[in-house]
Chain A
Amino acid sequence: MTGFTHDVLPCGIEYGIVPLPQRHVVSFQIRVLAGTAVEPSDKAGLARLLEETLDKGTQQRTGRELSDAFDAIGAAHSSGAGRETTTLSCSVLPEHFEKAVALNAELLRTTTLPQDALTVNIELAKQELDALQDDPQGLVDKYISLQAYGPKLGHHSLGELETLDCMTRDDLLAHWQNRFHAGNMIVSVSGPLDATRVADTFEKHFSGFGDPAKCGRSPVPVEFTPGTTHYEKELEQEQIGICWPGVEATHDDFEVQQVILSVLSGGMGARLFTEVREKQGLVYWVGAWQENPRGAGMLFLGASTTPEKADRTYTTLLREVDRLAEDITQDELDRAVTGIVAHRETRGDTTRSRGSELANDLFFFGRPVPAEEKLAKVRAVTIDDVVRYLTEHPRDRLCVVTLGPRPLDEAATAAQGASGTAR
């Protein structure tokens, strides 16, 4: 029994509902298929600027009045522009659900994109670019994303000084008119609500919002560029970022990849923490994770360490990936699987997480996927699957970014199949 509702409203919104009758809060997520990847190349930063300006004035209210209206119902709400979507998230007590949807519809449909607010947001984005220089991990993320995904999909959401300087209100208006319409929206709702009430509420508030036809839904292809790049910066620690292509969220081997990452970095008993931190004391922070734009998967390793330990940290990180196929044990595999399942059943069991998971399902699979279906695939992963995955998806093309006082030793990177440049 899944209990999900999944349909398309007459207005064009694709929506999903996960009913959670015992809960005391409702969460919903609106994803507009308009992220940074569809920005014109000379308008980097546009999606984020639009997202920041949407709620600064509507036909009915000033930005401040709109914020007050959200606060009047105690809404915990946020928004953000990602690579592929602009997402609005909201959690409220059930009695305020209709009002919360109405307010989101108001800012999405009747924003006036006030010029004065845009001017301030451009100025703030420039200041944020400066602030990024004081955030070593954020900087590595910016540099490695560009190399991993290419300029179209991988550029930073803040844009650059030169693109921000030439941004106009007309640019925002055009992006909003072209991309923000009901046919381009995915909505997920979780909580103690009746499905009819949810559907009626969204239809009421979004009926007639632009073109109901689905459009602009094709993923932007990844342009992966292997190689090593060092960025010189005066820091106490050297930041190391490594990535290589994996499989996408809908691939048959996705769960195998998930388990491999859990073996590497699922807990303090996982390989990277054990080998890099506990046995050698090389780092405080080390981790492995994945990112999944539609149609692609990217695996990442990251660590920060004092410069004299950087080469050893780098080689240890890759050694742990390479020896997985030779010596992974059943006990390790079992722990990794248990970690994924238990995290889903503890941390992932909140109303907000359930709504977010459903939104992901609609975005990647076009349907709600019961947790049991996903977890059954995780539980079915065997050592043979891991070995086969590592053979079929070798880490033979690496993208490496370092940030700090000195580059990695060339011999170390060459031995790992990554040639280098310095900036």
Chain B
Amino acid sequence: MKNPYTLHTLDNGLRIVIEKMPDVRSAAAGFMVDTGARDDSPEAAGVSHFLEHMMFKGTSKRTWREITVDFDRMGSSYNAYTSEDRTMYYGWVRTADIGKQMELLADMMRSTLPVEEFDMEKNVVLEEIAMSKDNLEHVMFDFLQEKVFEGHPLAWPILGYEETVGNMTRDQMWAYFQRRYAPGNVLLLVAGNVDPKAIIGMAEELCGSWQPYADAHQRTIPTVRTGVASLQVDRFKQQVVAITYPAVNAVDKRAETASAAATILGGENSRFFWEIVQEGIAPRAGAFHLDYADSGLMILYGTCLPENTEALVDALRREAQKICSDKIAPHELDRVKNKRRTGLAIEAEAPYHRLTQLMDDMQFRGGPRTVDQMLAEVDAIGVDDIHTYFQDFPINTEGHLTSVGPRLWPEGSTTGT
């Protein structure tokens, strides 16, 4: 199959990746900035996310109103999001509108962060923080990161704290923006039925004048902590628990193996589904591999009635023990491979979904992988690889146990704030 990717770097350091998708009628474009919550400073926790909101608020060419109206005029499906290590702005449009979409996104990327909009948008972010506190799983995962990565920037919540967001100034945000949104930190992604040459030409025109800014990453590798932490929140009805272990990072060649292992343990039709959910212990139980460029976690979790907490944790540990000691059956791995094949075929129909894969590949693997390459990597995983993986990254130890809900469980655990 012909390689559908085109890579290019502008003189100012901005990288471009384009995927040609001849069979679709739409196209998606996105700017990924290599910055996220882990790049916030402690006194400005939440600045990456708040900045993402402010990027919609005005440029030298457009007011906030003109930005949103221009998106809507082309019927774009657009949005933005912030994670621990990236911020993404995207729009998905009919192929004929891809030029307009790129121009609008590029204009936004040189935001003026209008002073007059700063306090109003702060209210919106504070509402988002309030909303997150009513969501049990959101509370859980913020608490988990806080404890597992204690003392490291990955411990801070992406949204920040009411205090840090409340006290944040526009000057602080401006300084961060200038430093982190330099072209060398930005990746332009385009997927769809587009002409790569034309896209590169447009990118030169739209982004070529952006001034480079030397800003070396100051990310430090986190330590994954062990221990037990519990947060009692009376108003929740359910208890959610997670057991967390160190895992391979996203750059490691074994990342696909870790992901397959997590699926066997806690995906659809998994061991957890049959041994925990279908045993009536908990309505939800799962496992996933969370990875960053320099670290990774294997997270086993479940949500249950408070009185079932012990049974749930016992069951999670029992299954973890089993997968470490006994080799998996070949058909368990075949299932993962078969579903991946269908998943890739489905994903290949939608340009926006391709952007996500491209982002991962560019950020963690140095370049995009074709569908055939991805399938080959998954197909190459053997039963012994899963076994070896769990010998290298065992999940049959105590790990870090986190619990949130109406019970302060286990007794004697450290409590959260």
Q: Which residues of A contact B (CB under 8 A)?
A: 22-25, 56, 63-64, 67-68, 70-76, 91-93, 117, 119-120, 123-124, 127-128, 130-131, 133-134, 136, 233-237, 266-270, 273-274, 277-285, 304-306, 331, 334-335, 338-343, 345-347, 349-352
Contacts and interface: CB of A to CB of B under 8 A. Distances in A.
A230 to B, nearest CB: 17
Contact of A346 (B94, B335, B338): B94
Interface in B221-264: 235-238
B339 A284 contact: no
A269 B236 CA distance: 36
B77 A131 contact: no
Interface in B112-134: 119-128, 130-131, 133-134
Nearest to B405: A134
B278 interface: yes
Contact of B341 (A56, A93, A237, A274): A93
A7 to B, nearest CB: 27
A71 B337 CA distance: 9
A394 B125 CA distance: 34
Contacts of A131: 237-238, 283-284, 303
Given A25-B349, A304-B131, A128 B283 contact: yes
- Which of B24, B77, B304, B342 lies at the interface centre, i.e. has the most chain A CB atoms within 10 A of its CB? B342
Given A22-B23, A123-B280, A267-B72, A92 B342 contact: yes
B396 to A, nearest CB: 24
A343 B64 contact: no
Contacts, number: 186
Contacts of A281: 119-124, 127
A91 B341 CA distance: 11
A132 B232 CA distance: 19
Contacts of A136: 134
A177 B97 CA distance: 52
Contacts of A346: 25-26, 75, 77, 92-94
Contact of B73 (A124, A335, A345): A335
Given A127-B305, A268-B68, A273-B68, 18 more contacts: A71-B338, A72-B331, A72-B335, A72-B338, A76-B343, A93-B345, A120-B278, A124-B280, A124-B283, A235-B134, A274-B68, A281-B124, A283-B127, A284-B125, A304-B134, A306-B126, A339-B72, A350-B346
A253 B123 CA distance: 38
A76 B341 CA distance: 10
A278 to B, nearest CB: 6
B65 A269 contact: yes
A119 B278 CA distance: 10
Contacts of A283: 124, 127
B257 to A, nearest CB: 19
Contact of B124 (A74, A237, A284): A284
B131 A64 contact: no
A351 B338 CA distance: 19
Contact of B130 (A127, A237, A342): A237
A221 B119 CA distance: 48
B136 interface: yes
Contacts of B334: 71-72
B342 A74 contact: yes
A118 B69 CA distance: 52
Contact of B74 (A93, A282, A342): A342
B348 interface: yes
Interface of B: 23-26, 56, 64-65, 68-69, 71-78, 92-94, 97, 119-128, 130-131, 133-134, 136, 235-238, 268-269, 274, 277-280, 282-284, 303-305, 331, 334-335, 337-343, 345-346, 348-350, 352
Nearest to B132: A236
Contacts of A91: 342, 346
Contacts of A304: 127, 131, 134
A162 to B, nearest CB: 18
Given A68-B335, A72-B338, A284-B127, A335 B350 contact: no
B75 A342 contact: yes
A284 B131 contact: yes
A269 B71 contact: yes
Nearest to B127: A284
A267 B79 CA distance: 10
Contacts of A133: 237-238
B56 A130 contact: no
A71 B269 contact: yes
A-B CB proximity, top 8 nearest? A342-B75, A281-B123, A74-B338, A269-B68, A71-B335, A284-B128, A267-B72, A346-B26
A64 B329 CA distance: 14
A116 B130 CA distance: 42
Contact of B77 (A74, A128, A338, A347): A347
Contacts of A282: 123, 127
Contacts of B65: 269, 274, 278
A303 B120 CA distance: 17
